[in-house]
Amino acid sequence: MNSSNNVFPESILIDNVMEYMNHGAIVGNLAKEIAKRMGMDEEFCYDMSIAGMMHDIGKVKIRTYIEERFEKVMFVDEARYYRMHPTTGYALLKEQGFSDRILTAVLDHHENYDGSGYPNNLKGEGISVEGRILHICDSFGRNMMNQKVSSWKDLRIDEAMRDMVEEAKDFDMKIFLLFQAYVYSEEFQNFLEELDLRMKDMKDK
């Protein structure tokens, strides 16, 4: 494959595996914590941490798909391919025998509460509760990564929340308020400290 002559947008795909894994780990932890705060049982919380870990796995599959057909692909519509990743991820995880709860969470993680999301334009409580949780945690997790802080304790929480508040129509308000309370709590500060320790451990190895 001639990567110097790219015709598909690299930006939508996973290049940095470490960054992808960190994003998954963060989203998984947030989703588990929010589920716990919603009073969900242990199995539900565990499934949410796996769903968070795996939610963007479809991006890997899309990369393979495009690379296999690279010679023939002259133009790729960035948004169209990006929007395939929940469905691709769902199919991939189904093949691997993941539970229905995890599959549903992955499939619904880009559905917006007002019906403007994808892949199925689901609306309100028509979106699985798993998907509604994951959507919020994913957005915040992405904002965290975008800040590129060298230590998580420097995370600017207000800034990470700002565009989510502006886009609040995308989210289930009850879960969003619970999430907001969590990120301003002492527990979240402990979580950030733990993340810092884990990153340090990984670097030291």
Nearest-angstrom CA–CA distance, 93 and 190? 32
Residue 102 phi/psi, 5-degree rounding, is -65, -40
Nearest-angstrom CA–CA distance, 193 and 75? 44
Nearest-angstrom CA–CA distance, 25 and 27? 6
Nearest-angstrom CA–CA distance, 98 and 134? 16
Interface segment toward Fe ion; rule CB under 5 A; list 52-60, 111-119, 124-132, 171-179: 52-60
CA terminus-to-terminus distance, the chain? 33
Q: Does 56 bind Fe ion (CB under 5 A)?
A: yes
Q: Does 130 bind Fe ion (CB under 5 A)?
A: no
Interface segment toward Fe ion; rule CB under 5 A; list 36-44, 54-62, 124-132, 159-167: 54-62
Interface segment toward Fe ion; rule CB under 5 A; list 7-15, 39-47, 131-139, 171-179: 131-139
Helices (H), strands (E): how many in the chain? Answer: 10, 0
Interface segment toward Fe ion; rule CB under 5 A; list 49-57, 121-129, 145-153, 170-178: 49-57
Q: Min. distance of Cβ 60 from Fe ion in angstroms?
A: 12
Q: Min. distance of Cβ 71 from Fe ion in angstroms?
A: 28
Q: Does 170 bind Fe ion (CB under 5 A)?
A: no
Q: Min. distance of Cβ 89 from Fe ion in angstroms?
A: 8
Q: Min. distance of Cβ 56 from Fe ion in angstroms?
A: 4
Secondary structure class of 41 (helix, strand, coil): coil
Nearest-angstrom CA–CA distance, 169 and 71? 41
Taking the least distance from each CB to Fe ion, the nearer of 19 and 193 is 19
Taking the least distance from each CB to Fe ion, the nearer of 142 and 189 is 142
Binder among 138, 140, 155, 179 for Fe ion (CB under 5 A) = 138
The two three-digit tokens of residue 96, written as one number: 């691997």
Residue 170 · residue 114 · CB < 8 Å: yes
Binding site for Fe ion (CB under 5 A): 56, 138
